[in-house]
Amino acid sequence: MHCASDRDRPTLIWLQGVTCNGNTHSFLNLPYLPQLLAKYDLLYHPLLPASSTLSEVVQCKRPCDVLVFEGAYDPLMKRHEVLLSELLDYYGMRAGHIIGVGSCASFGGMFKASAPQRNSGLIFDESESSGPLLALKNKVINLSGCPVHPEWLGYTLSMIADNKEIKVDTLHRPLELYSHLVHHGCTRNEYFEWKVDAKAFGLKEGCLFYLQGCRAPMTHASCNRILWNDVSSKTRSGTPCFGCTEPDFPRNDLFHTKTNMSIPEDVPLGVPKRSYLTITGIAKAFHIERLEGKLIDDKTAD
């Protein structure tokens, strides 16, 4: 059932590969979801009300301007008895934009970890160019994240609906969202600077880099600039960043920073290790009382 105005709106089909539904659930938290969806003609979504059923979609007769794909690609997987590869071929060819939502669709992510030989993202297998839509890679926008931040998907879909150009990085992620590091905007930056570590999760004070495994200084994402549910982020609540937007996610030992004789194996992006070690050694020489206790205590409050 279509009304006349539908033809003015781009059609959207949301397909799923191997997924936990996390990106769909994240999307449901978008505060302006109804307004955004009003800009689209939603033909199919696994959870949201849409005009077609899956059995209609797999017949490959629907139009599709924007194809959203959630989950890892598995060449043997079928949806309603039709191979994913056939669905991707058909709708991918027709769509003007293809969005890989989440780290599984972008790089293989969590599910690739369990079937490394089989599962991949749409155009990347971790950071290697490989995947079913490689030939259509110019249309693909990856929104990595486990799950994708609802605002990032909201941004991307709004830009497409408004016919605006989205510039992407080498991993096809929008620069607007992924050129920053999670470290940017973290409320703990002063602790990072002076090398004061948080000894446990959940503390408001201290940096989570050395003792809790924070990957934010090498992770591209805007979690600390565009907050989750408009209020918080992992590092703000005292949990380390897991680096979930990068192709090597999930790494082993998410709560652990790999060190070689106490020296972190990975140092902040773009900083030569030697220089980092020199600066760190010097920063550690300072004892800043204000940063050593709880900020709320009188003795360190000023």
Partner 1 sequence: MARISKEERKNGIISAALKLFSEKGFYVTTIPDIAEKVGMSVGNFYNYFTSKDILAKELVMYISEYLGEKIREINDKPISTKEKTAAIVSMYFAMANERPEMIEYFLRIYLSNREVFGEGCAGMVCVSPFVTEMMMFFNDGVSCGDLRDQDFFSAFGLFMGYLGGMVFLFGEKILPEPLSSYEASISENIYNALRVR
Binding mask 264-283 for partner 1 (x = CB under 8 A): -x-------xx--xx--xx-
b/e for 124-154, b at 16 or more Cβ within 10 A? bbbeeeebbbeebeebbbbbbbbbbbbbbbb
Q: Which amino acid, residue 228? A: W
CB of 210 to ligand SF4, least distance (A): 9
CA atoms within a 13 Å half-sphere pointing along the CA-CB vector of 89: 7
Footprint (CB under 6 A) of ligand SF4, residues 139-198: 182-183, 186, 188-189, 192
By CB under 8 A, which span of 62-70, 175-183, 238-246, 258-266 interacts with partner 1? 258-266
Q: Does 57 bind ligand SF4 (CB under 6 A)?
A: no
The answer to whether 297 touches 291, Cβ cutoff 8 Å, is: no
Q: Does 211 bind partner 1 (CB under 8 A)?
A: no
Q: Does 165 bind partner 1 (CB under 8 A)?
A: no
Which residue, 3 or 285, has its beta carbon nearer to partner 1?
Answer: 285
Judged by CB under 6 A, the residue of 27, 69, 91, 209 near ligand SF4 is 209
CB of 246 to partner 1, least distance (A): 20
Judged by CB under 8 A, the residue of 3, 34, 260, 302 near partner 1 is 260
The answer to whether 112 touches 104, Cβ cutoff 8 Å, is: yes
CB of 276 to ligand SF4, least distance (A): 13
The answer to whether 152 touches 136, Cβ cutoff 8 Å, is: no
Which residue, 154 or 217, has its beta carbon nearer to ligand SF4?
Answer: 217
Calpha distance 263→261 (Å, rounded): 5
Calpha distance 219→298 (Å, rounded): 35
**Which of ligand SF4, partner 1, none binds 149 (CB below 5-8 Å, type-dependent)?**
none
CA atoms within a 13 Å half-sphere pointing along the CA-CB vector of 256: 7
**Which of ligand SF4, partner 1, none binds 278 (CB below 5-8 Å, type-dependent)?**
partner 1
Beta carbons within 8 Å of 32's beta carbon, 6+ residues apart: 154
Residues in contact with ligand SF4 by CB under 6 A are: 182-183, 186, 188-189, 192, 207-209, 214, 216-217, 235, 241
